Amino acid sequence: MQSKKVETFQDLIVWQNSHDLVQELYKVTAKFPKREHNSLAQQIRQSASLVPINIALGFKKRARKNKVHYYRTALTIIEEVRYYIILAHDLGFYKNIDDVLANADNIEKMMKRLIRSVSG
């Protein structure tokens, strides 16, 4: 089986997975109480969106140091997203978080591998 050549950031599996996570979190946060739409829901959406954004920005950079900077930023933001998911759960806004946390863990592992591969 031949693997597809990575030509754009959209070809990166880690970008695809993080983009899927953003979409899932948009759907979930739409069901939050109205009073949370401009606070916690917005924070979750904004933070989650920054992961694929930073992957895309890093992909475009030529210098290894710059790539790694954006990829590490995405990795750090995954932790922020994880916290917001736990907070939403503890506040009773988000019931079943196991799958989304597993996705965040998977993205974290993939980001670490990507950083190692770029770092040389």
We report the CATH number of the domain holding residue 13 as: 1.20.1440.60
Quick one: average pLDDT of 54-74? 96
Q: What is the length of the chain?
A: 120
pLDDT digit string (tens) for 3-18?
678 899 999 999 999 9
Q: Note whether residue 4 is domain-resident.
A: no
CA distances from 7 to 4, 21, 41, 86, 94 (A): 9, 22, 33, 35, 37
Q: Note whether residue 2 is domain-resident.
A: no
Q: Note whether residue 54 is domain-resident.
A: yes
Q: Note whether residue 34 is domain-resident.
A: yes
Domain of 72 in residue numbering reads as 9-119
The model's pTM is 0.92
Q: How far apart are CA 76 and CA 43, in angstroms?
A: 15
Q: Note whether residue 27 is domain-resident.
A: yes
> Which tokens sit at 58?
């890093």
Closest CA to 94 of 17, 30, 11: 30
In the chain, what is the straight-line distance between the N-terminal and C-terminal CA atoms, in Å?
Answer: 26
Q: How far apart are CA 1 and CA 84, in angstroms?
A: 39
Band the pLDDT of 31: cuts 50, 70, 90.
Answer: very high
Q: Note whether residue 115 is domain-resident.
A: yes
Q: Note whether residue 72 is domain-resident.
A: yes
Q: For the chain, what is the domain count?
A: 1
